[in-house]
Amino acid sequence: MSVVAVAVVVVLYAGAGVLAITTGRAAPWQRGDILRPRVWGCGALLFGAGMALARYGGTVRDLTASTVVFACSVLTLICGWALQHVGRRAGRVGV
């Protein structure tokens, strides 16, 4: 993957998370789906950090350090996804 493409996705995703945390509102296209915007925003920040960490893990040359960074990025991605899932309305998946 391109570093620029990943950086753009991470910045946009983290920006949506910061918007949700600071204002208590979700992005306009997500307002009907998200019940708890602050929880969803925390999940978005964690998910963005996990994506950035996974991209960084690909540049680490030491095998042990690369494995640890990758494991941490997967854990961060899963925790971010779980928080986003908790922040959504029940029964509103991808509508």
Over residues 14-57, the pLDDT tens digits come to 888 899 999 988 878 777 788 899 999 999 999 999 999 998 88
- The amino acid occupying position 91 is G
HSE, CB side, 13 Å, CA atoms: give it for residue 63.
0
CA triple 12-16-18, angle to 5 deg: 115
Percent of the chain with pLDDT over 90: 44
Say if residue 94's pLDDT is above 60.
no
Q: Model-level pTM greater than 0.85?
A: no
